Amino acid sequence: MILASQLQAEDAVIRDIVDAGDYYLKVVKKGQTMRILDIEGNQAADTLFYNANDISERYSAIDTVREQGNVYLTAGSVLMTNDCNPLLKIVADTCGRHDTLGGACATESNTVRYELEKKCMHACRDSWLLAIAENEELGMDKSDITHNINFFMNVPITSEGGLSFADGISGAGKYVELEAMMDTIVLISNCPQLNNPCNAYNPTPVEVLVWDQAQSN
Ligand SMILES: [Zn+2]
């Protein structure tokens, strides 16, 4: 569902550019609203969320899909934790659909999906592992890297129930906005993938904006 935001960029308290291949790791407080902006279009932002006060509670794709009865994420979707608590709510979305089934790219999956020589290419899982290695105070290890959301990524389900990695439906300037329903650690890998059409073979930066207030819609 397409739903524009009433929030103005100049009122944001945080504005960060995240280059393709980099990670973003910050806490969004309960009641704050976060926007991920696809600056140039057709990018994928592979994102994990954790309860900032107990990282064993984190985003759960299974619980979210079951509770909303739909596999796609968009405005109105409530992102659930593995304890079935609401973590964030998508309060605005000008893209219209986000994936939570396709998983993130990894050097291993790149060799299986594409070619053995892709093993050395940078992947989202590397960015997440670097993030937790550079932020030891979080006490996270690789077992904490679980299922994610691929914002702006298009993985349509076929009539036979299959997953198809398709050309993106996002475009320059499209965004998704989430209101935190608890203090939430946000860990984004701005995907460096060069092998599939989800980012048009051209990884580009995203911007993260945070407001102190809730979206007024
Ligand atoms: Zn990726």
Alpha-helix runs per DSSP H in 114-206: 124-134
Q: Is residue 118 part of a domain?
A: yes
Q: Is residue 2 part of a domain?
A: no
CA distance 204 to 65: 28
pLDDT of residue 216: 61
CA 113 to ligand 1 centroid distance, Å: 13
Q: Is residue 100 part of a domain?
A: yes
Mention every residue, 6+ apart, whose C-beta is less than 8 A from residue 133. none
CA distance 155 to 118: 22
pLDDT of residue 106: 86
- Domain region containing 71: 9-211
Q: Is residue 216 part of a domain?
A: no
CB 89 within 8 A of CB 181: yes
Q: Is residue 3 part of a domain?
A: no
The number of distinct structural domains making up the chain is: 1
Both tokens of 190, joined, read 């701005």
CA 213 to ligand 1 centroid distance, Å: 31
Q: Is residue 83 part of a domain?
A: yes
CA 72 to ligand 1 centroid distance, Å: 18
Q: Is residue 217 part of a domain?
A: no
Q: Is residue 187 part of a domain?
A: yes
Tens-binned pLDDT, residue by residue, of the chain (217 aa)? 999 999 999 999 999 999 999 999 999 999 999 999 999 998 999 999 999 999 999 999 999 999 999 999 999 999 999 999 999 999 999 999 999 999 998 888 878 777 777 777 789 999 999 999 999 999 999 999 999 999 999 899 999 999 988 877 899 999 999 999 999 999 999 998 877 776 777 899 999 999 998 776 5
Both tokens of 142, joined, read 């690789």
The neighbourhood of ligand 1, an ion, using CB within 5 A, equals 46, 105, 124, 191, 193
CA 135 to ligand 1 centroid distance, Å: 20
